[in-house]
Structures are given as C-alpha cells and as structure tokens.
C-alpha cells in the first residue's frame, strides 16, 4: 500500500470519527435549570454510600481542582468524611499527610511531593493549607487525612520506608537500600525489566521483614506509621507490576491496582465515607477506553455504595504537559449538558440525576448517549480542533450519579 493511499484511509477515518462527534448526536433538548443548583448546597449523598468519587474533565483546570476541595469540605461539614484521597503517589501523599498534621516544610514543596506535575498548583496548595489549619483545632479522632491511591513514583515511598526502619529496624535499611535505590523518580521509566523484578521482590521482602519485627517498629514509632510505611513498600511493588507488563497493558494493569489501594483505604475509614478524586476516566462506572477503569471495578465491587460526580465544561482551558513544561490550551464542545448553561449568567450548575429523573427533558439527557470532554495530561495544539482527541461518548446516568457543569474553566495556577 502506497503512502498516498494510507494517508487517504487515515483521513477518511478521522473525518468519519469527527463527523460522529459533531453531527452524530441526538437533538439536544432544553432542560429546566431550576431543577439544578448553582452550588453544592444541594449535595446529598445517599445513606448507604461508603465511597464518593469526584471527577474532572481535565487534569489542568483551576475550577476542577477547586471542586476537589469544595466537595470534600462539604462532606466534612456534614460529618461524613475525613480522608481526602487523590489520584497521586501514595508515598508523596504521606508526606502531605505528615504536613497537615503539623509537620515541617512549606505547602508548595509538600504539594510537589505528590509527584505529579499536575498538582504543583495554587489550587492544590490551598486544599493542603486548609486541611492543616483544620487539624490544628480538630478533636482527637476527628483529624483529616490526605492519602494517594496511585503509585507512579518511588522516592517519597522510599523516604518513608527508610525513615521508619531507621527508627525501629535499622539493619533493614542496609539490607534493602541498595536494591530499592536502583530506581528513582528520574530514571523510573528507564530501568531494565530484570531490575524491575528485583525491586519488586525487595519491596515484598521489606513487608515480610516489617511484619516479623512489627513490635519493635511500633514501639519505636506508632501503629499508624507501621501500617502506612508497610503500604508504601506495597506501593513500590505495585508500581513494578504495572511497569513489567507490556506498555499496551499498562492502564489495564494500573486501574485494578488502584482499586486495591482504594479498598485498602476504605478499610481504614470505619463508619466514614472515603472521598476520592481523579480524572472522569478513572471515576466513571463504565468502560470507554478498552479496559475496565477504576470506577467500573469499584462499582462492580460496591454496587450502590459507590457514588460519583462527573464534571464537564462548555469551554475547557487547561495546562497541557509538554516535553519541556506546560502550555495553556483550550477546547470547546457543546453537549446536551453544556448547552443548558450557554448564554447564562451563572458559570456552573450542579445536577443530581435522582432528583431530575422524573423530568422528561432531563431524563432524555441523562439516559442517552452523550459526548463529554475528557482531556488527559497532554494535548497538542492541532488536536484541540478534533473532538476525538479530547472527548468521549457515554450514557451519563450509567457513568455518574451527578454532574457539575461549567460554562468555562481556566488553566490551573502553577508554581515551579
């Protein structure tokens, strides 16, 4: 096949997919916005719920990151949640957790410790500062916790491991440090597969040796430090599992491992709701990318105990990651949801599907296939003109239990 014919075939496929997104949708009804709310005062999580997930249509948008904190504060006010769990490195989140419990440092460095550049923002910093301030006067047992359920970094996990072992089992530092130090956050994607298996075995052995010396480690630190440090070692082993498989299987491996981490965190919540936040693509209860995402796995496990809020915007401004940093881009898409706020003075509305299911117009919107914005970490300029690169198609009430829709969101406020 000549390059000319190949280019023609690719062009036809791209045009076909673009036309599907642009004109292949059903007529969009006008719905009654009075049945929605401009804020989250109407947030009402059902009594049986034990896990609340909040999504974002882009990792790099200011309003979406602010929403993470807003929903959490509302759940805290209602006495329903105390742990904020983010799609971020488990070990890095432990560093944040130390800080909000009075640890040393500054909030920008602490936010950076989460490990993902998308969180080096004033918006995440504000959430961290609020949690630290809250904990200063929180009664015993009512303090807030900051956790991560991802594992794509190693340095902060190693720091917690070595700090804990140095206090309670110092001989284990010398035993495992040379092997665990084969990988760091800078070379993590360049480590040979044989070394990945070696690191995984070492992390698993750390857990086994910690179990054997639990009494000494707990006596030198405390029970929580032991538990979280052991899980930091588990996170390193999980990351090796995700890296060992072929690259095409990475996401299909990562999401089940994140599911395991979320359920581990749930076990520590007692009668409280665990609050998690991540991209829509992870939070949603349906598969749209060829593998079962975190949200679908959790929905399979928990049924109606898992409750989700999706997010979308008529115009999405965001910071897109490049090889050298970040650039500000934007995309626009008029869906059945975003059409409702077009031309309105308000910048957002909140709609719980159970509260509008009896309304014919809303029922048509939430129970039929819709296209929603789904920007990942990176997008280049020309892709912003082609919806297939930044949008997905799904049935809203199969994927979420509620939505927050914005007229416009802008890029996050980054710091270096």
User: Element (H or E) spanning 234, and its range?
Assistant: helix 223-244
CATH topology classification for 87-273: de novo design (two linked rop proteins) (1.20.1440)
| pLDDT tens digits, one per residue of 236-293 | 999 999 999 999 999 999 999 999 999 999 999 999 999 999 999 999 999 998 999 9
CA-CA distance, 234 to 88, in Å (whole number)? 15
User: Where do the CATH 1.20.1440.30 domains begin and end in the chain?
Assistant: 87-273
d(CA 283, CA 286): 9
Dig out the tokens for 125 from the structure: 């910093």
3-state secondary structure of 84: strand
- Compute the chain's Rg from CA coordinates: 22
Q: Looking at residue 18, what is its pLDDT?
A: 52
Name the band, by pLDDT with cuts 50, 70 and 90, for residue 29.
confident
Mean residue pLDDT of the chain comes to: 93
From 20-24, 44-48, 149-153, 363-367, the region with the lowest mean pLDDT? 20-24
Q: Which CATH superfamily is domain 27-80+274-416 in?
A: EreA-like (biosynthetic domain) (3.40.1660.10)
Bridge-partner residues for 316, per DSSP?
331, 409
């Amino acid at each position: 096949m000549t390059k000319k014919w190949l280019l023609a075939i690719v062009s036809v496929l791209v045009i076909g997919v673009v036309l599907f997104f642009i004109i292949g949708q059903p007529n969009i009804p006008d719905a009654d916005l009075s049945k929605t709310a401009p804020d989250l005062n109407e947030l009402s999580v059902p009594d049986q719920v034990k896990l609340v997930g909040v999504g974002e249509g882009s990792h790099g948008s200011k309003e979406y990151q602010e929403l993470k904190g807003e929903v959490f504060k509302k759940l805290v006010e209602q006495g329903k949640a105390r742990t904020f769990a983010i799609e971020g490195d488990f070990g890095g989140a432990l560093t944040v957790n130390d800080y909000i419990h009075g640890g040393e440092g500054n909030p920008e460095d602490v936010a950076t410790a989460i490990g993902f550049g998308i969180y080096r923002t004033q918006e995440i910093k504000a959430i961290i500062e609020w949690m630290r301030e809250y904990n200063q006067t929180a009664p015993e047992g009512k303090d807030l916790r900051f956790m991560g359920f991802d594992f794509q970094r190693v340095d902060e996990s190693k720091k917690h491991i070595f700090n804990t072992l140095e206090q309670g089992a110092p001989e284990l530092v010398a035993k495992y440090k040379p092997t665990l130090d084969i990988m760091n956050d800078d070379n993590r994607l360049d480590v040979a597969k044989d070394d990945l298996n070696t690191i995984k075995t070492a992390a698993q052995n750390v857990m086994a040796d910690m179990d054997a010396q639990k009494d000494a480690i707990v006596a030198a630190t405390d029970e929580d430090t032991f538990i979280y440090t052991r899980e930091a070692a588990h996170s390193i082993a999980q990351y090796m599992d995700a890296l060992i498989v072929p690259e095409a299987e990475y996401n299909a491996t990562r999401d089940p491992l994140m599911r395991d981490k979320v359920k581990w965190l749930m076990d520590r919540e007692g009668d409280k709701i665990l609050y998690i936040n991540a991209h829509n693509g992870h939070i949603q209860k349906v598969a749209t990318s060829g593998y079962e995402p975190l949200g679908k796995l959790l929905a399979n496990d928990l049924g109606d105990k898992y409750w989700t809020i999706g997010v979308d915007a008529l115009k999405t401004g965001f910071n897109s990651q490049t090889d050298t940093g970040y650039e500000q881009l934007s995309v626009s898409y008029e869906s059945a949801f975003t059409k409702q706020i077009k031309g309105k003075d308000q910048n957002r509305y909140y709609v719980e599907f159970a509260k509008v299911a009896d309304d014919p117009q809303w029922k048509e919107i939430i129970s039929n296939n819709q296209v929603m914005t789904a920007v990942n970490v990176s997008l280049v300029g020309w892709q912003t003109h082609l919806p297939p690169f930044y949008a997905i198609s799904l049935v809203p009430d199969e994927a979420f239990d509620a939505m927050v829709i914005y007229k416009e969101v802008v890029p996050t406020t980054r710091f270096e």
